[in-house]
Structure 1
């Protein structure tokens, strides 16, 4: 894969116990295809109540449209199935033996961030540095790091910065509603529960991250012990 392509394409390959292999790539610079859209991908189908898009301007929900192919691909598989996952991205490969639920959650997180949904757009910076199968500590580290770096870059462009993280809390409150909305759509589409449970897993991570943002209890302190030392030695 050419370097420029490997930087913008996140390729997932799922290998099941029976040897079946399924693949899906997330193009961080691409747009969701609108041809042959399923009814559940239309914007006016159980549209999220906080969605700022208008049916007059957007026929499809961008997140749902981006989910059509992977949902169709994984619909006949159950969330508890074991699966071998290979993620190829940025000229590296990451392998993980896990459940389809966790693998789908990792894939759907990248899809959502790149989809063009107004409520996930600030997550796209994280998608450019995608970390498959992140746990809660890793997710919190990446979320805070990405957002605070974004605020620093805003100051470099003469824009105001949100050092109190209020904007980030709003992003994650909105994201929880998006995840719930997508799960409701997928209940109308999936034959089995893999994609739905992948979104539920994402929502659990979003809830955990939001809780840490609202009530930080020192989850990351142990990784930053050197930063927390008194330089005066007092």
Structure 2
């Protein structure tokens, strides 16, 4: 996919204690919000769509040779293997609007990188997360992610309501979407774990297993942890 000068850009830098810098540049098409793929063929065998394909995947190997998410993390895997042992670092994310930075672990920084890749890789199951990726928040906590995902979903529901496509707002559809996301998570975990018996770079395997920690997260839609923010005091 050709680069677009109006693309939304997220430039991540992981600055290690020994002075080394590792950079991940992510660009999203301004219209489709699909990640502009930085890596090029040949891709490793584990990226093929048929290789431990996700249970809910609507794509077919006859029409799509590679898993879009797997392809987009190959560059991350290659770079990450050189910084895996460095736990303390400074992670910086520059966008067109502002710069974020945090003294943290390489893993937290890479989790942010992986999150935006997963949402924008043109995986049909993950596409509903593209609006949230457009307003990407580096180093987001689980609580922040829950607020952002539910808020943007309800905004999307509002637009659907204005078009007459729905008559009420609720989280049922969002819960169904996240249930499918969990199936994608499980599929990617199976893809990652299966590499253990393959003739693959050991560091790359460790990298993928580390990234899999992000995939084990589940979203809680009870909203109990944030409901108190909206409760009015007795004196109001």
Q: TM tier, shorter chain? A: 0.7 to 0.9
Aligned Cα root-mean-square deviation (Å): 2.4
Tell me, in whole angstroms, the C-alpha distance in 2 between the residues paired with 1:222 and 1:28.
35
Tell me, in whole angstroms, the C-alpha distance in 2 between the residues paired with 1:202 and 1:130.
18
Tell me, in whole angstroms, the C-alpha distance in 1 between the residues paired with 2:216 and 2:166.
30
TM-aligned CA distance change 1:80 to 1:144, over 3 Å: farther
Question: Contact conserved, 1:79 with 1:195, CA < 8 A, in 2?
Answer: no
Which of 158, 173, 177 does residue 152 from structure 1 map onto?
Answer: 158
The secondary structure found in structure 1 opposite 2:110 is: helix
TM-aligned CA distance change 1:194 to 1:35, over 3 Å: closer
The secondary structure found in structure 2 opposite 1:220 is: helix
Query: How many residues are treated as equivalent by the alignment?
Result: 219
Q: How does 1:36-75 map to 2 (within 5 A)?
A: 36-75=42-81
The secondary structure found in structure 2 opposite 1:191 is: helix
Higher relative contact order (CA 8 A, sep 6+): 1
Tell me, in whole angstroms, the C-alpha distance in 2 between the residues paired with 1:75 and 1:167.
38
User: Which residue pairs with 2:15 in the alignment?
Assistant: 15
Question: Contact conserved, 2:92 with 2:99, CA < 8 A, in 1?
Answer: yes
Question: Contact conserved, 2:15 with 2:90, CA < 8 A, in 1?
Answer: yes
Report the alpha carbon displacement of residue 165 of structure 1 after superposing the two structures with TM. 1.4
User: Which residue pairs with 1:199 in the alignment?
Assistant: 212
Q: What TM-score comes out, normalization by structure 2 length?
A: 0.83
Report the alpha carbon displacement of residue 199 of structure 1 after superposing the two structures with TM. 3.3
Q: What TM-score comes out, normalization by structure 1 length?
A: 0.84
Report the alpha carbon displacement of residue 139 of structure 1 after superposing the two structures with TM. 0.8
User: Which residue pairs with 2:141 in the alignment?
Assistant: 135
Unaligned runs of 5+ in 1: none
User: Which residue pairs with 2:110 in the alignment?
Assistant: 104
Tell me, in whole angstroms, the C-alpha distance in 2 between the residues paired with 1:161 and 1:111.
33
User: Which residue pairs with 2:32 in the alignment?
Assistant: none
User: Which residue pairs with 2:169 in the alignment?
Assistant: 163
Report the alpha carbon displacement of residue 114 of structure 1 after superposing the two structures with TM. 0.8
The secondary structure found in structure 1 opposite 2:224 is: coil
User: Which residue pairs with 2:89 in the alignment?
Assistant: 83
User: Which residue pairs with 2:231 in the alignment?
Assistant: 225
